[in-house]
Structure 1
């Protein structure tokens, strides 16, 4: 190969490397936007299913193949957010909205209801809840339960110290650190107790 030919190949190799990097970056950005868009669109469809549930008292899925259905509506007025809570906290369900953890009571009952959500979509704002903020949860019988945030804790997933049989409250749980991209064993938990002045 001549020196001139080698000289022409170097810029081509750099151009190819740059194009591959741009393609990968575009794919990563697109994938991230897709996940967030899917989460937002799902909440619109889940809201429709929730309204049907409130209307007739039966469970309704947002799409025919869904393996979870709305069981509550979670409102965080201080953050200007409301979200439909799904019937389970499987990985598939959490892609579309926060989920109720089986083994814990539903909101409004005795014990601590546990609601989990992904840190990069529905519960990305969880650290915005402060002590004394109000959390409102509506369940299918249309009763609204008000909770007052009493604190937060960072815990190991295997030692969460959430007792589903104690008190009358709710624990909102997401992965920690909130800005991490890899899975980890730590969880960020917001604890809220049922307000004494239920309306």
Structure 2
């Protein structure tokens, strides 16, 4: 039995490594596929009349649908925006909080992402840095106005206000925490160009 124990430990290590590698590759494939879909979606530019007609007759996107692209030039990130914030949705990219608004709606837009994948470098952003949303109805540029850290159960940042256009990014915090993080890192940005 003493001779088999090291082999069992090594075999267990290889199995765990294989599972981790499979999860990593699966996540990368999901995010690359979603980004390709998002780029295809936004490349089909619509005329003003088409945008207005589609807005009047459009239903909300289904959970899991790709709806646009988030570009963060400072950290060289180009991420698919996916409707919903369930774990399966966040595997594909940045999740659009269902019920929050879209660019051009003059309301609060809430995007969430994992700190260890799509928003790994979010803490490197500074006030004045730009966030760009590429959507089927056009491109929108936002400027970071402030950030804050809240407890993980604090829902006060999601107000779904419709007085002014505001982009909010949320992720878990601290960035290098192992396990379920106790806080959330929030980035606020205002629309500067459409």
* TM-score bracket relative to the smaller structure: 0.7 to 0.9
Aligned residues: 182
Do the aligned partners of residues 184 and 149 (structure 1) sit closer, same or farther apart at CA in structure 2, a change above 3 Å counting?
same
Q: What's the counterpart of residue 184 of structure 2?
A: 187
Are 2:69 and 1:77 equivalent residues in the alignment? no
CA offset digits 1:87-142 (Å, max 9, x no partner): 32233222212121123221233232111112222222222221110112233222
CA-CA distance at 1:185 after TM superposition: 4.5
Please show how residues 120-199 of structure 1 align to structure 2 within 5 Å: 120-142=116-138, 144-162=139-157, 163-165=159-161, 167-195=164-192, 198=193
The 5 Å alignment of 1:1-80 reads 9-52=1-44, 67-80=63-76
1: distance between equivalents of 2:84 and 2:16?
34
The SS at the match of 1:10 is coil
SS at match of 1:137: strand
Q: Distance in 1 between matches of 2:167 and 2:4?
A: 59
Structure 2 spans left out of the alignment, 5+ residues: 55-61
Q: Confirm whether residue 106 of structure 1 aligns to residue 102 of structure 2.
A: yes
User: CA offsets, 1:11-50, max 9 Å, x none?
Assistant: 2332232222233233223323432343233322332344
Structure 1 runs of 4+ aligned residues shifted over 6 Å read 55-58
Superposed CA offset, 1:162-190 (max 9, x none): 23315421001112222334234521111
TM-score after normalising by structure 2: 0.77
Structure-2 separation of matches of 1:86 and 1:53: 19
Bigger Rg, which one: 1
- The structure with higher relative contact order (CA 8 Å, sep 6+) is 2
Structure 2 SS opposite 1:106 = coil
- Separation of aligned partners in 2, 1:72 and 1:13: 51
CA RMSD of aligned residues (A): 2.8
Q: Which runs of 5+ in 1 are unaligned?
A: 1-8, 59-65
Q: CA separation in 2, counterparts of 1:93 and 1:53?
A: 25
